[in-house]
Amino acid sequence: MQNTSRSNRVEIWRSFWVATWLGWQIESNWTQPFLFAIYSIIKPLAGAAILVVMYSVITQGNFNTPIFPYLYYGNAFYQYVAAILTGVSWAVIDDREHYKTLKYMYIAPINIPLYWLGRGVARFLTGSISVLITIAFGVAFLHVPLNLATVNWPLFIVALFIGVSMLAMMGLILASITLLIAHHFFLIGEAVAGALFLLSGAIFPLEVLPAWIRPVGFAVPITYWLELMRRSLIGNVAQAFPTLSRFGNLQLLGILIGLTIVFAIASLFVFRFCDHHAREQSLIDRVTNY
Give contact residues for another protein (rule: CB under 8 A). 26, 29-31, 35, 39, 42-43, 46-47, 49-51, 53-59, 67, 71, 97-100, 181-182, 184-186, 188, 191-192, 194-199, 202-205, 208-209, 282, 286-290
158, 99 in Cβ contact below 8 A?
Answer: no
* Closer by beta carbon to another protein, 48 or else 155: 48
Angstrom distance (rounded) from CA 99 to CA 23: 13
Supply the angle between the helices 2-28 and 112-141 in degrees, to the nearest 10.
Answer: 40
* Closer by beta carbon to another protein, 209 or else 262: 209
* Closer by beta carbon to another protein, 71 or else 252: 71
Q: Please write down the HEC assignment for all residues of 120-143.
A: HHHHHHHHHHHHHHHHHHHHHHCC
The neighbour count for residue 157, using CB atoms within 10 Å, is: 11
CA distances from 88 to 45, 183, 189, 228, 279 (A): 23, 15, 8, 24, 20
CB of 283 to another protein, least distance (A): 9
160, 229 in Cβ contact below 8 A?
Answer: yes
CB of 153 to another protein, least distance (A): 29
CB of 91 to another protein, least distance (A): 13
CB of 7 to another protein, least distance (A): 26
The neighbour count for residue 18, using CB atoms within 10 Å, is: 17
* Closer by beta carbon to another protein, 132 or else 208: 208
270, 176 in Cβ contact below 8 A?
Answer: yes
CB of 51 to another protein, least distance (A): 7
CB of 285 to another protein, least distance (A): 8
* Closer by beta carbon to another protein, 11 or else 97: 97
Angstrom distance (rounded) from CA 64 to CA 68: 7
Angstrom distance (rounded) from CA 78 to CA 235: 18
* Closer by beta carbon to another protein, 165 or else 176: 176
- ∠ at Cα 226 (39, 245), nearest 5°? 155
* Closer by beta carbon to another protein, 124 or else 155: 124
CB of 121 to another protein, least distance (A): 18
